[in-house]
Structure 1
């Protein structure tokens, strides 16, 4: 765009990070919807955002909206008739429950997940996003934190590679996945029976999952690295399902009922997976780019000292002993069936353990682990003073799709 003398650069002392009015928020949604509405129309996208902001995870301050403005600006230079402040850049943050293990102690924490980082095309190359992130990093350290519930870290998932956010402290962590196509071939035989999971089944399972994550942290060896874990609570899972149900209803006039699958019936010995569907193709009859994401794979082994379901072992650890491969394959096979029914192109699991890799290859011998270098790069900013690389000195436990925002 042509240079506008009424616009400051990103280093201006008059820039400030503030919370938008409802009108300003709507203005940004209309702009960023082109990038993030996926299969939805603009009108449907606006309705979806309203629905998602009223979920248990997001209401009562669970989601916070941010914009960067110039406090010295008297009118909007791009639209002098507008009554709103000009958002130079914007984003939103989600308050999430987390656990941190450090020096033998588990601490309850909050974590803010950053999403929808956006700068209008007309305003780019002026350093506004950089300035917003610099100020946001400082703000989140204390935002909604208390003495009993500190904020020790924040996360984001970069779709522009690993370098940009690193300069502001969000370091890239392991970001890999493995996938299988929606079922088109004959199912694999000799797998255990997996039954579907429905919305009413999930709250109890999420409570068990949280207890397992906590136990996994509590039994870490004393000389281990600091570890963090986002809690896979029911509020988080329901947010994903509210998202998929809204989009599915818009495209197919019905809502998905099957939310996952489980193998086994005896508590303490079950294995389950939860998933969500993401629709990106505007044509409901086409599957291209639609993905059924595995949110979480949980191995409910109460006697295990290296519980695999938290995702600590990525591809090459002791989990690859074949013990759980068939059960996970059975779960993925149900996911494939669901993917096919809902016109998904594939089923995808993030940061797979060795067991998940083996299970996936039972269904598709050509499946390989893909290490992402551009999209959905899991990134973490650690707030306490720290020397050296955060990514090398902190274990991100359960770095799976459920942590995405």
Structure 2
């Protein structure tokens, strides 16, 4: 009879670098494996253990605001690459993995919350406390030979490695200021350097050319547009997805349709340089986009953001649920 998770003693342990088969490791990134308790106790033979199920976690900084209005900086974890080898599927191992991992993150690591992105709907992860949030993706088509001249090019500043840190820091300060004004229970995963660097390294790895993208986004200066309407400062940071032939906007800041139009226009021009067919943007304020002219709105059924909130049993608002937090 094939064993199942219910009739075995199982343990969740951190994988060794040899088991994880990774080039680097740090306190912020861990690979977890589900093995038998017997194998877990026999540390001399850990590398020979049968891996029944596995996943990865990434440690992040976040802000939360509670009902009292108090803002706290805290720690959270994202979960990715949940995998069970084919011969061990349908035996409850992935369920056991997620139960043990949730307890470890909540009680041992003292996480305030954890999150993941489900490609298998809402039922499986929902059983273990990860509540699904809606995801709206706006897709902008990119012409093969985009020749439209950028309006007001003097307003657009390229974001690259020379000024990326300052843009991230300014965004961080604005997020903290805006977050302090919220009057309901909320959380935000902070978009800081390690998150972006993970994406930029992915782009380098998947590029088939030795020439890696140098433009990481654009920033709009706060000036007057051609109609003498003040253009609010905004920016986008993007990711060149060579695998799926599209430009993904990771972080989007804009509070006016004029700024949004310039940012999307510049993103489409960047996409056209690499012959990408599409620019994508997650969960924007749709009031800022003229959907009658461009952009297809898609309610996603995959990559669903799912969150386990460990503070209490109440609902919490996920602020800035954008692509940068995906892993």
Match of 2:226 in 1: none
- Which 4+ stretches in 1 moved above 6 angstroms? none
Q: Indicate yes or no: 2:258 matched with 1:326.
A: yes
Question: CA 1:347/1:263 → structure 2, altered by over 3 Å: closer, same or farther?
Answer: same
Q: CA deviation at 1:207?
A: 1.0
* Ranges in structure 2 where 5+ consecutive residues have no aligned partner: 41-45, 224-230
Match of 1:41 in 2: none
Q: Indicate yes or no: 2:92 matched with 1:123.
A: no
**Deviation readout 1:367-395 (Å, 9 max, x if unpaired):** 2311111x1101100012315xxxxx211
State the number of aligned residues: 312
Match of 1:30 in 2: none
Q: Indicate yes or no: 2:317 matched with 1:395.
A: yes
Counterpart mapping for 1:165-184 below 5 A: 165-184=125-144
Q: Write the distance in 2 (CA, Å) between the matches of 1:159 and 1:191.
A: 41
Match of 1:256 in 2: 213
Match of 2:148 in 1: 187
Match of 2:204 in 1: 245
TM (normalized to structure 1)?
A: 0.72
Of the candidates 250, 256, 267, which is equivalent to residue 335 of structure 1? 267
Question: CA 1:100/1:183 → structure 2, altered by over 3 Å: closer, same or farther?
Answer: same
Q: Write the distance in 2 (CA, Å) between the matches of 1:85 and 1:96.
A: 30
Of the candidates 3, 8, 17, which is equivalent to residue 8 of structure 1? 3
**Deviation readout 1:33-54 (Å, 9 max, x if unpaired):** xxxxxxxxxxxxxxxx52xx46
Match of 1:294 in 2: 249
Match of 2:297 in 1: 369
CA contact (8 A) 1:357 1:369 kept: no
Question: CA 1:73/1:292 → structure 2, altered by over 3 Å: closer, same or farther?
Answer: same
User: Going by fraction, where is strand more abundant, 1 or 2?
Assistant: 2
Counterpart mapping for 1:202-351 below 5 A: 202-221=164-183, 224=184, 226-248=185-207, 251-264=208-221, 269-280=232-243, 289-299=244-254, 324-351=256-283
TM (normalized to structure 2)?
A: 0.88
Q: Write the distance in 2 (CA, Å) between the matches of 1:261 and 1:25.
A: 36
Q: Indicate yes or no: 2:32 matched with 1:66.
A: yes
Question: CA 1:65/1:143 → structure 2, altered by over 3 Å: closer, same or farther?
Answer: farther
CA contact (8 A) 2:151 2:262 kept: no
Q: Write the distance in 1 (CA, Å) between the matches of 2:288 and 2:240.
A: 19
Q: CA deviation at 1:130?
A: 0.7
CA contact (8 A) 1:24 1:84 kept: no
Q: SS of the counterpart of 2:296? A: coil
* Ranges in structure 1 where 5+ consecutive residues have no aligned partner: 27-48, 75-81, 146-150, 281-288, 300-307, 309-323, 388-392
Of the candidates 119, 131, 137, which is equivalent to residue 159 of structure 1? 119
Q: SS of the counterpart of 1:100? A: strand
**Deviation readout 1:241-268 (Å, 9 max, x if unpaired):** 12212222xx1122110000111157x9
Q: SS of the counterpart of 1:326? A: helix
Q: SS of the counterpart of 2:275? A: coil
Two-structure CA RMSD over aligned residues (Å) = 2.3
Of the candidates 9, 12, 32, which is equivalent to residue 17 of structure 1? 12
CA contact (8 A) 2:113 2:308 kept: yes
